[in-house]
């Protein structure tokens, strides 16, 4: 026989579980690598990901680095993309199929990704860049996720990253 407390808790738990509905989505973004007037220029290593409100990684979307370097030496420098490396990169077997790619030259570059199912709530689209003999920059764009959501956001970096545009459609 169930106690009255247990009888009251079961419907409450069922309601909470059913309210945590999750939705997948399509993400498109442009990431601008700005032209810098420096004596020694190197293309930046860039990582892009989605993280939850608690800053845990939900999905890695792109890691652009020198994948062509002999003996996988390009992977050695991925730790300079500090936030991504600490949260996700050091636990990955590289290259990551469908996510790893070569560094990008100056200009705007497209990123198209399928988002995994995510619960309704607050998230961030994060882009981090690090450049040899240069600096490091991180841009975090907040967004709220729900059914039938269309998100259009942008942010602009100060040095290592230019304009970042984000478009997401839940499905």
Sheet of 121-130, strands arranged across: 100-101, 57-64, 45-52, 121-130, 136-145
Reading the chain (171 residues) residue by residue, the pLDDT tens digits are 555 544 444 444 433 443 458 889 999 999 999 999 988 889 999 999 999 999 999 999 999 999 888 888 889 999 999 999 999 999 998 889 889 999 999 999 999 999 999 999 999 999 999 998 889 999 999 999 998 989 999 999 999 999 999 999 988
Residue spans of the domains in the chain: they are 24-170
- Predicted TM-score of the model (pTM): 0.86
67: how many CB neighbours lie within 10 A of its CB? Answer: 15
CATH fold, domain 24-170, is Immunoglobulin-like (2.60.40)
């Amino acid at each position: 026989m169930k106690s009255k407390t247990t009888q009251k808790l079961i419907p409450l738990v069922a309601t909470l579980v059913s309210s945590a509905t999750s939705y997948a989505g399509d993400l498109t973004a442009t990431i601008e690598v700005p032209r810098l007037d420096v004596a020694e220029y190197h293309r930046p290593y860039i990582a892009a990901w989605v993280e939850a409100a608690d800053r845990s990684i939900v999905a890695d979307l792109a890691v652009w680095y020198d994948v062509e370097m002999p003996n996988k030496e390009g992977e050695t420098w991925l730790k300079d993309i500090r936030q991504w490396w600490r949260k996700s990169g050091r636990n990955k077997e590289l290259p990551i199929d469908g996510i790893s790619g070569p560094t990008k030259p100056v200009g705007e570059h497209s990123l198209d990704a399928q988002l995994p199912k995510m619960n309704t709530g607050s998230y961030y689209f994060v882009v981090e860049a690090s450049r040899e003999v240069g600096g490091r920059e991180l841009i975090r764009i907040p967004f709220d996720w729900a059914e039938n959501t269309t998100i259009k956001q942008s942010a602009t970096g100060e040095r290592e990253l230019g304009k970042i545009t984000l478009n997401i459609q839940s499905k």
